[in-house]
């Protein structure tokens, strides 16, 4: 058994990020400024997006996307219960109604057939979540959106850098929201990015900084003016140059990061495939997953212990794990407001009850992976 605890997903940082952050601190410009603007442009180039806006979180990106699209009270937004609460919370924040539909059992992504069935005259948008880094069936969902004139928003918190049918996630003109939280494939500690059509990005940018028509960089640089106007009541969602400094260096490492993640995934596959106790994550032929997660699913009756006991047994062997996700419809707020029951979305509920996310980050050594596998075999 390991002597030291193996964390589930610590940040992958090096001297390059430290030096870039120090450079920002010494520059005298630590809030939104030149490095944030550079990060936006380099990120847009990387995912082949028409425009990008750096923000304080993926939640901020999703929220501003809905606000910029004028979605509000009386509107409905279709999304998945198999996500972090933020995806659904932003729908509540704009006063719209979240309409949940079930998932596909192989990828655990939202089911396009059920999306189509859920559309009403009040539906204004669909938010898809690329679960674990594996892209949704975007063509099928876009067909539904086009037919009913709906906005397609992508929650890409897990999916940098993922591809769907050879296209980078984020390369379209629709809003796509990314997370740079500490555990993500690219981290700025906290932070996010919104990509999409430049006109939408410009509008979202106004909402993201108090509704001002000039950001701090434009006002406080040598060529700027102190005068500004408030054109709408906005939010405080801007990214700082300290965060962007980390992002600039992380972006340079994305090829290396994805390569190592895929190597670890292959090691897990080879070692765990012979064990009949688990279903392993899939990658469809027309997709390239970002492999943010490696979620295994315990087969019913395969073990004499529960999923929760399995997690505790892993912890006892100094292996950190997690669960992605507790379905949103099972939380108290949504149960009480909408009357949801566990079996309203049977696939999401069933799969969530047997999920365990294994450690997956580029800092894992082959020996670390062997320790994870050895712990699993011992428990089995």
64 shares its domain with 211: yes
Give the residue, 308 or 1, on which the prediction is more confident. 308
What digits encode the pLDDT tens for the residues 305-314? 999 999 999 9
pLDDT of residue 217: 54
Supply the CATH number for residue 304's domain: 3.90.1150.10
Residues 127 and 220: their CA atoms lie apart, in Å, by 37
Query: Is residue 7 domain-resident?
Result: no
Q: Which among 184, 252, 253, 304 is annotated as catalytic?
A: 184
Q: Is the confidence at residue 320, as pLDDT, over 80?
A: yes
223 shares its domain with 310: no
320 shares its domain with 231: no
Coil, strand or helix at 209: strand
Residues 247 and 190: their CA atoms lie apart, in Å, by 10
When pLDDT is averaged across residues 23-32 and rounded to a whole number, the result is: 96
Question: What is the distance of C-alpha 325 from the center of its chain?
Answer: 12
pLDDT band, very low/low/confident/very high, at 226 (cuts 50, 70, 90) = confident
Q: Is the confidence at residue 216, as pLDDT, over 60?
A: no
Query: Is residue 5 domain-resident?
Result: no
Query: Is residue 116 domain-resident?
Result: yes
pLDDT of residue 215: 61
Residues 129 and 133: their CA atoms lie apart, in Å, by 9
40 shares its domain with 144: yes
Query: Is residue 122 domain-resident?
Result: yes
- Here the tokens at position 280 are 């392993």
Alpha-carbon separation of residue 59 from 8, 62, 307 (angstroms): 22, 5, 29
Residue ending a domain, among 252, 281, 313, is: 252
Give me the torsion for CA of 105, 126, 41, 55, rounded to 10°.
Answer: -100
| Domain, as residue range, for 323 | 254-379
User: For the chain, how many residues are written?
Assistant: 380
Query: Is residue 1 domain-resident?
Result: no
Q: Is the confidence at residue 26, as pLDDT, over 80?
A: yes
When pLDDT is averaged across residues 227-243 and rounded to a whole number, the result is: 94
What digits encode the pLDDT tens for the residues 273-293? 999 999 999 999 999 999 999
271 shares its domain with 247: no
What digits encode the pLDDT tens for the residues 157-204? 999 999 999 999 999 999 999 999 999 999 999 999 999 999 999 999
Q: What are phi and psi of 300, to 5 degrees?
A: -60, 130
Q: Note if 184 is an active site residue.
A: yes
When pLDDT is averaged across residues 133-159 and rounded to a whole number, the result is: 98
When pLDDT is averaged across residues 322-329 and rounded to a whole number, the result is: 98
What's the structural domain count of the chain?
A: 2
Alpha-carbon separation of residue 29 from 229, 240, 241, 328 (angstroms): 23, 9, 7, 40
Relative to beta strand 176-179, strand 151-155 is parallel
Query: Is residue 6 domain-resident?
Result: no
Q: Is the confidence at residue 219, as pLDDT, over 70?
A: no
DSSP 276: T
Give the residue, 273 or 223, on which the prediction is more confident. 273
85 shares its domain with 192: yes
122 shares its domain with 266: no
Residues 354 and 60: their CA atoms lie apart, in Å, by 31
When pLDDT is averaged across residues 34-57 and rounded to a whole number, the result is: 98
pLDDT of residue 358: 98
pLDDT of residue 221: 60
321 shares its domain with 229: no
Averaged pLDDT score across all residues of the chain: 96
Residue 14 half-sphere exposure toward CB, CA atoms < 13 A: 12
Query: Is residue 10 domain-resident?
Result: no
Residue ending a domain, among 252, 283, 304, is: 252
Residue ending a domain, among 200, 218, 252, is: 252
DSSP 52: E
pTM higher than 0.85: yes
pLDDT of residue 228: 83
267 shares its domain with 369: yes
- Here the tokens at position 113 are 């057939």
When pLDDT is averaged across residues 347-373 and rounded to a whole number, the result is: 98
Residues 30 and 345: their CA atoms lie apart, in Å, by 45
- Beta strands in 175-232, from DSSP E residues, in sequence order: 176-179, 192-195
């Amino acid at each position: 058994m390991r002597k030291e605890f193996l964390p589930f997903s610590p940040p992958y940082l090096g001297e390059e990020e430290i030096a870039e952050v120090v450079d920002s601190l010494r520059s005298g410009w630590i809030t939104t400024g030149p490095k944030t603007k550079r990060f936006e442009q380099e990120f847009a180039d990387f995912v082949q997006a028409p425009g990008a806006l750096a923000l304080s979180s993926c939640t901020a990106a999703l929220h501003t996307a809905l606000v910029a699209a004028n979605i509000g009270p009386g509107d409905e937004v279709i999304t998945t219960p198999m996500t972090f609460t933020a995806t659904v919370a932003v729908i509540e924040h704009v006063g719209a109604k979240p309409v949940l539909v079930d998932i596909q059992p192989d990828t655990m992504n939202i089911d396009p057939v059920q999306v189509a069935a859920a559309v009403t005259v009040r539906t204004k948008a669909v938010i898809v979540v690329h679960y674990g880094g594996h892209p949704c069936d975007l063509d099928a969902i876009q067909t539904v959106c086009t037919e009913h004139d709906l906005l397609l928003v992508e929650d890409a918190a897990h999916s940098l850098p993922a591809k769907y049918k050879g296209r980078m996630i984020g390369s379209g003109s629709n809003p796509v929201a990314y997370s740079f939280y500490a555990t993500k494939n690219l981290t700025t500690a906290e932070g996010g990015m919104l990509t999409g059509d430049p006109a939408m990005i410009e509008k979202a940018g106004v909402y993201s900084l108090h509704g001002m028509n000039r950001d701090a960089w434009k006002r406080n640089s040598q060529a700027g003016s102190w005068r500004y106007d408030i054109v709408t009541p906005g939010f405080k969602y801007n990214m700082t140059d300290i965060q962007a400094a980390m992002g600039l260096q992380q972006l340079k490492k994305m090829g290396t990061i994805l390569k190592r993640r895929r190597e670890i995934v292959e090691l897990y596959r080879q070692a765990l495939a012979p064990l009949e106790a688990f279903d392993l994550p899939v990658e469809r032929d027309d997709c390239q997953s970002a492999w943010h997660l490696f979620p295994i699913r315990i087969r019913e009756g395969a073990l004499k212990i529960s999923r929760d006991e399995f997690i505790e047994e892993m912890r006892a062997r100094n292996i950190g794990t997690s669960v992605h996700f507790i379905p949103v419809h099972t939380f108290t707020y949504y149960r009480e407001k909408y009357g949801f029951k566990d079996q309203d979305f049977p696939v999401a509920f069933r799969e969530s009850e047997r999920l365990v996310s294994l450690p997956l980050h580029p800092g894992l050594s082959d020996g670390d992976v062997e320790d994870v596998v050895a712990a699993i075999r011992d428990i089995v």
